[in-house]
Amino acid sequence: MRKSQFALWAFLVFAVLAAGAAVLNVSRGHTANAPASSQIYRHLDLFGDVLERVRTDYVEEPEDSKLIESAINGMLSALDPHSAYLSPKHFQDMQVQTRGEFGGLGIEVTMENGVVKVVAPIEDTPAAKAGMMTGDLITHLDDEQIFGLTLQEAVEKMRGPVNTPIVLTIVRKDEEEPLEIKIVRDVIRINPVKSRAEGEVAYVRITTFNEKTHANLKTAVKKLQREMGSKLAGYVIDLRNNPGGLLDQAIAVSDAFLDKGAIVLTRGRNLEETQRSNARDGDITKGKKIAVLINGGSASASEIVAGALQDHGRGTVIGTRSFGKGSVQTIIPLGSNGAIRLTTARYYTPSGRSIQAKGIDPGIKLEQELPDELRKKTLKPRGEANLRGHLKSKDGDEETGSSSYVPAEPEKDTQLQFALKFVMGTATAADAKKMAEAAALRDKAEVEELEKKAEADADKKTKAEAN
């Protein structure tokens, strides 16, 4: 019996490895670098031995499917931080995210002290129509307590088939008793593009790259052009804290601002897998001045857009160094068993720059001013180079990321206010340099003040101990 079970599991794992080998094209002939078949079989034998030992001797009987799923995910996650196995559920969630629409309520939420806090209801959605308000605390869903759930678990419970009801119990400021609000789920469409007029400048913020990003960008730009007319001086394209998304959407967004030339180059394991995406004629801004905002939270697809506009001189990149994710992941479906997300290529900007573990350096570097409570903390910037097991830079030259803080109030947003003035022609790179120097002096003065305070406290303590 054990032999037959071993044979079954060994066959399953071998099938997974064989599929991976086919994807990666490692079996394109007998080369000196390819591992011998006998070595693969020896490794499979080893895996089978370990698997059988775990199944028979572990202190509690393990779940076979969980063992295999964990083994597959371990194999993929050991490659780099972005390769992974997607269970059927996670694969479905990812598809919902990239589509940009789902059955739900229409509220942006976060977790606070074990309950779900409403950041904002989305305009013209069931939640907004039902009277949900910013700051509402959701404690129960259909009389089931939220406390103990993760944010993702709570969100999944709020999502569901269209036209199905759910009752939310909420605690609202200035209300003595909890409120119960019944909401009927509907199709929620997430708009990845937010826009508004800032004086004579069109401000366009792209939050993610899903299937609707390019279409919504064109709609937003047309609307602003119609509303602002001849007074429109230029555009600020805000890519800060945009984690990326679909490669084809990043290419389409870049193309929207370019008339010709390369947008991005992708290079796989083999030379023949190199691909080049080119811009087509037609700039939706009609050549108007563009400033592009990036920071340490700008990654992947947003770096493709920033790099393309920067290399072609079409837009001036303002802010701080981006995240540095210069790799492309391909989603490979596995039928009813989910999918694998596999890193299959590196991408390069039109001039041939790889930003893997380096990021995009802005043409005008400008740090965002932090509030006092954050300035006193030691905040380590995160970037691709900080991730364990990240794909190494080809030349070995790597850089860490930068701050990703963006204030909620536009008037306190140093980077945005500078970009608006830059587009209007009332601020220059020299002004940004002066601002950076002033901030450095201010930070130095604060550090010196803190050091003096620490020394004074230490002296007081020493005197107290001596007495």
Query: Which residues are catalytically annotated?
Result: 300, 311, 325
Q: Which secondary structure element, helix H or strand E, spans residue 465, and what is its range? A: helix 429-466
Distance CA 279, CA 261 (A): 6
Distance CA 109, CA 88 (A): 25
Distance CA 462, CA 467 (A): 9
Question: What length is written for the chain?
Answer: 467
Task: Write the single-letter amino acid at 185.
Answer: R
Q: Report CA 245 to chain centroid distance, whole Å.
A: 7
Tell me 354's DSSP state.
Answer: B
Rg of the Cα trace of the chain? Answer: 26
Q: Report CA 446 to chain centroid distance, whole Å.
A: 33
Asked whether the beta carbons of 101 and 356 are under 8 A apart, the reply is: no
* Neighbouring C-alpha atoms within 13 Å toward the C-beta of 264: 27
Listed in order, strand segments (DSSP E) in 252-296 are 262-267, 275-278, 289-294
Two tokens, residue 383 = 């970037």
Q: 302: exposed, middle or buried (C-beta count within 10 Å: 0-12, 13-18, 19+)?
A: buried
Question: Can you spell out the DSSP letters for 56-71?
Answer: HHSSSPPPHHHHHHHH
Asked whether the beta carbons of 431 and 417 are under 8 A apart, the reply is: no
If you search the block for the tokens 């064989």, which residue do you land on?
18
Asked whether the beta carbons of 301 and 277 are under 8 A apart, the reply is: no
Beta partners for residue 345, in sequence order: 328
Asked whether the beta carbons of 145 and 157 are under 8 A apart, the reply is: no
If you search the block for the tokens 């997974």, which residue do you land on?
16
Long-range contacts of 7-12 (CB under 8 A, 24+ apart): 9/48, 9/51, 9/52, 9/64, 9/68, 10/44, 10/45, 10/47, 10/48, 12/68
Two tokens, residue 131 = 């009277």
Distance CA 5, CA 44 (A): 14
Distance CA 220, CA 199 (A): 16
Distance CA 148, CA 146 (A): 6
